[in-house]
Structure 1
Amino acid sequence: MDNDQIINDLKEIITPYTDHKEALETLTENTDLLIDLKINSANLVDIILDIEEKFGIEIDNDSMTKMINVKETIAVIKEKLAANAG
């Protein structure tokens, strides 16, 4: 799965949790979930749960703390997908 596909999936997952649609439309690997999209910590947990469901992965607490921007979120998703495949 490539980064563009993951970003598209993330946009779909994040949409209900942010009112900052312009930042969402221009989402890149450098987008900060908390600062740019104004997602609060409670909604970030919901997003992570949705990511787990969408990708069929489990995200541990250590990985969860890394997921504050899109680049790190993609890295965690790819890491967990690779672990499941192996």
Structure 2
Amino acid sequence: MQLVILVGAKLQHVIAILALENAGITGYLSGAKLRPQDELFWFKKPELLLSLIHFILFQNAFELASFVWFWWQFGYNSCFIRNHTLVYV
């Protein structure tokens, strides 16, 4: 959960910086382009952020698949899904 918040905050920061750089541009067809720089990312490596996003997506998919499998195999009221509040969250 903390990793999702950390990566999301960093992506929000990068988007905000790019928006501030292009704040003077108006109109859709003004011809201006975003110029992302490696300096905006941690350790000047955007690949690190991309790898973290891939890890988070894999982890979420695995958790969802595990939940569906436990539910299908053992039922909703099994000991694997004992805390229903966590299921709803």
Higher Cα Rg, which structure: 2
Tell me which of the two structures has the higher relative contact order, counting C-alpha pairs closer than 8 angstroms and 6 or more residues apart.
Answer: 1
Per the normalisation by structure 1, the TM-score is: 0.31
Larger helix share, 1 or 2: 2
